[in-house]
Amino acid sequence: MAKKIKTPDDLSTEDKIKEAARTIFMQKGYSATRTRDIAEAADINLALLNYYFRSKEKLFDIIMLEIMQQFVAGLKESFQDEKTSLLEKVQTVAEKYTTLFMKIPDLPLFVLGEIQARPEEMAQKMNLKEVVLNTSFFRQIQEATPEGIHPINCLLNLLSLIVFPFAASPLIKIAGQIPPEAFQILMQQRLQMIPLWFDAMINTKVPGHESNHQNKR
């Protein structure tokens, strides 16, 4: 009975600010969030925001860096693992991101928006070359894509299937009249299918190319 129910107060003020800021920044974007909104959500005095983080922009940078790192965290190792197959890796990415986006629905659109706003900075923060291009994963994709198709397109297909539904989730829920729980089920269903769909796409013949790869599982 004396156990703490939630964790609103036992956070340090610094962390309360960061959590509130993360939520609001992701929801409304940098420009649309007011420092006063953050202060209110964190239940702290406005001046404390500047006391701990100097400025709105500095606070944003810190949070953004953490988000971007979270975004690529855990992928690097599995992507560099030479022992797992392509489809196993596909399964891993799909699972990781589906889980992540279920917890934080605003994440995909927010990240895409920030990348659009400041491409170079964000690409650097995500360290993409390291995480994607120079990995066993990308090499396996290159091998598996049929002639006549750019490997980037295969990678794009995978990311599309994983990320887009979350970026478009409000649309889906309203247009398809899908309640939130049903949406989660839909995404779980996709999770099973994505490796199969990916495999199917990799094995579709390209018109005008006689000798297409056959995917070796």
Which range in 46-54, 66-74, 123-131, 183-191 contacts DNA by CB under 7 A? Answer: 46-54
Cα dihedral 190, 191, 195, 198, rounded to 10, equals: 40
Q: Is 27 in the site for DNA (CB under 7 A)?
A: no
Q: Is 200 in the site for a second copy (CB under 8 A)?
A: yes
DSSP 79-114: HH-SSS-HHHHHHHHHHHHHHHHHH-TTHHHHHHHH
Based on CB atoms, which residue is closest to DNA, 19 or 95? 19
Residue 199 neighbours by CB under 8 Å, 6+ apart: 87, 215
Q: What is the DSSP letter of 133?
A: I
SS3 content of the chain, % helix, strand, coil (to 5): 75, 0, 25
Closest to 15 (Cα-Cα) out of 47, 77, 64, 59: 59
Give the amino acid at 123.
A
What are the tokens at 86?
């392509």
Smallest distance, Å, CB 143 to a second copy?
17
Q: Count the residues of the shown chain that bind a second copy, applying the rule CB under 8 A.
A: 58
Which range in 52-60, 61-69, 81-89, 174-182 contacts DNA by CB under 7 A? Answer: 52-60
Contact with DNA (CB under 7 A): which of 51, 127, 148, 185?
A: 51
What are the tokens at 139?
């090499």
Smallest distance, Å, CB 172 to a second copy?
7
What are the tokens at 151?
């490997």
Q: Are 151 and 138 in contact (CB under 8 A)?
A: yes
Q: Is 109 in the site for DNA (CB under 7 A)?
A: no
Smallest distance, Å, CB 217 to a second copy?
14
Based on CB atoms, which residue is closest to a second copy, 49 or 146? 146
Q: Is 191 in the site for a second copy (CB under 8 A)?
A: no
**What is the footprint of a second copy within residues 22-41 (CB under 8 A)?**
28-32
Contact with a second copy (CB under 8 A): which of 88, 159, 184, 209?
A: 159
Which range in 27-35, 76-84, 163-171, 199-207 contacts DNA by CB under 7 A? Answer: 27-35
Q: Which residues of 134-152 are buried (b: 16+ CB within 10 A; e: fewer)?
A: ebbbbebbeebbbeebeee
Contact with a second copy (CB under 8 A): which of 1, 2, 5, 175?
A: 175
Smallest distance, Å, CB 39 to DNA?
9
**CA torsion through residues 65, 71, 74, 77, sign:** negative
Residues that bind DNA (CB under 7 A): 13, 33-36, 44-48, 50-51, 54-57
